[in-house]
Amino acid sequence: MNKRFFLKSLALTGFTFPAFENITAALHDKKHLPATQIAQDENFWEAIRKGYRIKPDYINLENGYYCFQPEEILEAFIKNVREVNYQGSYYMRTVQWDNKKKAAAALAKIAGCNSDEIIITRNTTESLDTIIGGLAWKEGDEAVMAEQDYGAMLDMFKQIARRHGVVNKIISVPNHPASDEEIVALYEAAITPKTKLLMVCHMINITGHILPVQKIADMAHKHGVKVLVEGAHAFAHIQYDIPSLHCDFYGASLHKWLSVPLGAGILYVNKNSIPDPWPLIADGDSKPLTDIYRLNHTGTHPVHTDLTILNAIDFYYKLGPERKEARLRYLQQYWTSKLRKVKNVAVNTPADVERSCGIANVGIIGIKPGLLAERLLKEYKIYTVAIDYANVHGCRITPNIYTTTAELDQLVKAITEMAKAV
C-alpha cells in the first residue's frame, strides 16, 4: 500500500476530524463582532462551556496545570487512539513521522515561524532542558534566570552547575514593575562577560506576569548572550509570533493552553542556533547539524497525542485566538478589579492589562497560601493551587474559556469574606 492510499484508507475508516458544531452555532451571528465585545457575552461563552464535561464537585480555577480537553477534542483523541491501535506497527512504520511533521507544520503557523525551526516534544520541561543541558558549557560559564522560574528548569541549571561548574545568577522579578525598562535592567545587571545563556519566562506561571521578552532578548544579544524563553503559559493563550520575540530558543507545553491531550510540547530553535545544543537523546550522525530533527529523537511514544494536535488546532482557530485571549483577559480583570480594592487582599499580578492575561495570583494578609487554598476548597468549593515562595504568597487563579463570571463572583465573595474575618 503506498502512502497516499494508506492516508486515504485512514479517512475511510473514520480517521477524520469532527466539526465543532457548538462553536460554529454560537458564532453564527457574532463572527463580525469585535473580540473584546464577545469577551463579555455570557450567552456565547455558556455555549462554549456546553462543549466541556465539567465536574460539578468544585469550581475549577486551576487550569494552569492542564487545560483538559473539550469533548470534541477528547472524542477525536479517542478515535485516534483506536485507529493507531487498529493499524498497529504498520502505522508506526509508515506514516507516524509524516503525520508528526504535519502537526509540527500546523504549530509553526501558530508560532509564526518556519516549520524547520520547530519540533514536537513531550512538554516544556523536555524542550527547555534539551537546551539547558545540551549547550557546550565550560567551567566558569554563567547563566541568568529568575527565582520565579519553574522549578524543573532551575533544577536543570543546578545540575549543570554541579556537572560543568556553571555559575547561576538568579534575579527576582518584582510583581508590580514601574516599566519594562525596570525589568530589562534587572536582567542586564546579572550579565557579565562570562554569561552564555539567559532564560526568561514569557508568562510567569505563579503570577501570570507577562515579561517584555523581546526587549530582554535585544539587550542580552548586545552582550553576546543567547536567550531561552520559557513559554509554557503563553502559547495559545496570548497571541504573538515567536520570531518577533528575537529569542534563540523557545519551549512550551501543548497540554496547557492549546488543550492537546497530555504529553505534548514544542521546541523552537532559531535557524542560526540549531547547531548549538547536543540532543538530549542521541540521534546518530545521519542528520546535518543544521537539521532541528537531530534534537527530536524520542523513541516510541504516544503518537495518537501527536495526531490530536491537529484537532486541538482546529478547535483553537474555530474559536479564534483573538476571542480566546480577549475572554481570558476579561475574566481575570473581572475578578482582580474587584479584589484589588479589598482590605487585607494582595493581588500579586500587575494591574496593567497588557502585563497579564488569564492567570493572576491572590493572597490574604494573615492567611498562609496553603490554608487559603484549603479553605477555598472546603468552605467555598473552589479549586486553586497555593504558591508560597519567592515574592509570591497566595493562590494562583487560572480560569479557562468555560469559566463563568458567576463562578468568579463566588471567588470574589470567598476572598472578601475571608479577608474581612482576618
Ligand X SMILES: Cc1ncc(COP(=O)(O)O)c(C=O)c1O
Binding site for ligand X (CB under 6 A): 65, 123-125, 150, 152, 201, 205, 230, 232-233, 253
Minimum separation from the CB atom of position 166 to ligand X (A) = 20
Query: In the complex with ligand X, which residue's Cβ is closer, 27 or 266?
Result: 266
Minimum separation from the CB atom of position 126 to ligand X (A) = 7
Minimum separation from the CB atom of position 420 to ligand X (A) = 32
Q: How far apart are CA 63 and CA 397, in angstroms?
A: 8
Q: For 224, left (φ over 0), alpha (ψ -120 to 50), or beta? A: left
Per-position b or e across 25-48, b if 16+ CB within 10 A of its CB: ebbeeeeeeebeebbebeebbebb
Q: How far apart are CA 116 and CA 294, in angstroms?
A: 11
Q: To which residue does cell 534534537 refer?
A: 295
Query: In the complex with ligand X, which residue's Cβ is closer, 233 or 393?
Result: 233
Minimum separation from the CB atom of position 8 to ligand X (A) = 35
Query: In the complex with ligand X, which residue's Cβ is closer, 205 or 416?
Result: 205
- Other CB atoms closer than 10 Å to residue 267's CB: what's the count? 24
Query: In the complex with ligand X, which residue's Cβ is closer, 65 or 389?
Result: 65
Query: In the complex with ligand X, which residue's Cβ is closer, 117 or 230?
Result: 230
CB-based contact 266:107 (threshold 8 Å): yes
Query: In the complex with ligand X, which residue's Cβ is closer, 151 or 165?
Result: 151
Minimum separation from the CB atom of position 151 to ligand X (A) = 8
Partners of residue 267 on adjacent β-strands = 119, 251
Minimum separation from the CB atom of position 125 to ligand X (A) = 3
Minimum separation from the CB atom of position 77 to ligand X (A) = 17
Q: How far apart are CA 221 and CA 121, in angstroms?
A: 26
Query: In the complex with ligand X, which residue's Cβ is closer, 18 or 302?
Result: 302
Long-range pairs, 58-61, Cβ under 8 A, ≥24: 58/377, 58/381, 58/382, 58/383, 59/381, 59/382, 59/383, 59/403, 59/407, 59/410, 59/411, 60/383, 60/400, 60/403, 61/382, 61/383, 61/384, 61/397, 61/398, 61/399, 61/403, 61/407, 61/411
Query: In the complex with ligand X, which residue's Cβ is closer, 146 or 326?
Result: 146
Instruction: Give SS3 for 115.
Output: helix
Q: How far apart are CA 229 and CA 245, in angstroms?
A: 9
- Other CB atoms closer than 10 Å to residue 307's CB: what's the count? 27
Minimum separation from the CB atom of position 23 to ligand X (A) = 26
Minimum separation from the CB atom of position 195 to ligand X (A) = 22
Q: To which residue does cell 450567552 refer?
A: 43
Query: In the complex with ligand X, which residue's Cβ is closer, 124 or 259?
Result: 124
Phi, psi of 179 (to 5 degrees): -160, 170
